[in-house]
Every structure is written in structure tokens, then in C-alpha cells.
Amino acid sequence: MSPETKDKRLLTRDQMARRAAAELADGWLVNIGIGMPTLVLPHVPADRDVIFHSENGIVGLGPAPADPADYDPDLMTAGKKPASLIPGAAIVHHADSFAIVRGGRLDAAVLGAFQVAENGDLANWKLLGAKGGSVGGAMDIAVGAKQVLIMMTHVTKDGEPKVVKALSYPVTARNSVTKIFTDMAVIAVTADGLVLDELAPGITADEVQAATEPNLRLNDSLKEITV
């Protein structure tokens, strides 16, 4: 990837979050993963009633407090970051939280990833060579959610593709990912392979393909991401 692409044309994390938030439908219960996915919360359109779930036991998770110093130290996200609650939110037992997950009650989950394979396999809990990893509840969530939406940069810091033919990182879940939102594009995972649905402004389909290991099919209605 050229320095020009890296410096000027990639989506910011907030822009990625805004696009991912637009994917969420009215009435959905959505698990929000740690890290980048938490940026989605404030970007949900005002006319959509989306309830966010945090695996540590929050149903009705709100955005991070505007003032990081003004928060309840007993109210944290699964990633141990300051949290807020929406009106009517519930704090539930950890076992009840995972009954929601394992019971198929999540309409979607927004998760981060280290790699996604062309068949939808997900790796997001352990880096190569690391002695340990952050297992958390990602395995349950990736299997239990009806849709799994991934937010991640398109390539690693070394420029290696994160969308790959087959995982080289430890597996979180097989055949689980529905759609990928990166700083270059939106890619759908289908039974017939990966489909390039949308491009970041100024990014070409050829550039996305060059940064992606598997072959991409172009959506007949390929369009630019609205940022």
C-alpha cells in the first residue's frame, strides 16, 4: 500500500464506526466487542432503537462518558473501560449474560479481529507467538450471534493482509463472519466467496484487491462508503 493511501485516504476509526453503525437495524440486540467496536455506539442513527449488550453483564450499554474522570468505577465495559447505561438498562449475572449469547438472542455482534478468512473463519483472541491471549467470550459470541460484523484495519502495521485465504492465527470461530468493515472497504462474506460491496472515498477496487489475499468479486452495485 502506498504512503499516499495510508496517510490520506483510509477511513478513520470514527468513520469506520459510523459505517458499521448504519448496518444495525431497529429493534436489534447487539453485542459490542472490546476496543474499536465500542466507537459504534454514538453513531447509531437517532431513529433506530438498538440495544447494546456487553458480555460482562450489561443489557443497555451506552456510550463512554463524555468526561473520562466522571464515571462510576463499578460500571465498566467488558474491556474494562468506563461505561454508561441507557434508560431502562439492566445489569445481569454473568451466567444470564451468556444465556443471552448462547441462546441465540443476539441479532448481531460487532467484534474486532486479527484475521478473517474468505470462508468467514475468525481469529481475534491471540497473536502469533504470544504466550497468552484474551479469550473472553468471543468464541461464544461469534457462534451465537445471528450476524457477526468485524471492524479492523485492512492490513497489519507491517502491511500484511488481514483478510486471508486461511487463518494463520489461532481460531476463534469457524464460518462465523457475515461482513467486514475496514479502513479501505466493506466486504461481505458469502457462500460463493468474498464480495466487495463498498470502497472508501479515493480507494480503488484494485488497491483493495492488492491488500487482500483471497480474490474479491465486485458487487454489481459497488459504491463509495458514505462518511
Which sequence spans correspond to the domains of the chain? 3-224
Q: Where are the alpha helices (DSSP H) in the chain?
A: 3-4, 13-22, 94-102, 138-144, 205-210
To the nearest whole number, what is the mean pLDDT of the chain? 93
- Nine cell digits for residue 141: 459470541
What is the predicted pLDDT for the residue at 220? 97
Distance CA 57, CA 62 (A): 13
pLDDT digits (tens, 9 = 90+) for 63-87: 988 887 788 889 999 988 999 999 9
Q: Is 118 known to be catalytic? A: no
Which of 4, 55, 118, 198 is flagged as catalytic?
A: 55
What is the predicted pLDDT for the residue at 68? 72
What is the predicted pLDDT for the residue at 129? 79
Mean pLDDT to the nearest integer, 216-222:
98
Length of the chain: 227
CATH no. of 3-224: 3.40.1080.10
Which one has a higher pLDDT value, 71 or 99? 99
Mean pLDDT to the nearest integer, 88-115:
97
- Nine cell digits for residue 147: 450476524
- Beta strands at 193-199 and 122-123: parallel, antiparallel or unpaired: unpaired
What is the predicted pLDDT for the residue at 2? 47
What is the predicted pLDDT for the residue at 5? 45
What is the predicted pLDDT for the residue at 49? 97
In three-state secondary structure terms, 108 is strand
What is the predicted pLDDT for the residue at 3? 43
Contacts made by residues 223-226, CB under 8 angstroms, sequence distance 24+: 223/197, 223/198, 223/199, 224/198, 224/199, 224/200, 225/11, 225/15, 225/19, 225/185, 225/186, 225/198, 225/199, 225/200, 225/201, 226/19, 226/22
pLDDT digits (tens, 9 = 90+) for 22-51: 999 999 999 999 999 999 999 999 899 999
pLDDT digits (tens, 9 = 90+) for 117-149: 999 999 999 988 777 787 789 999 999 999 999
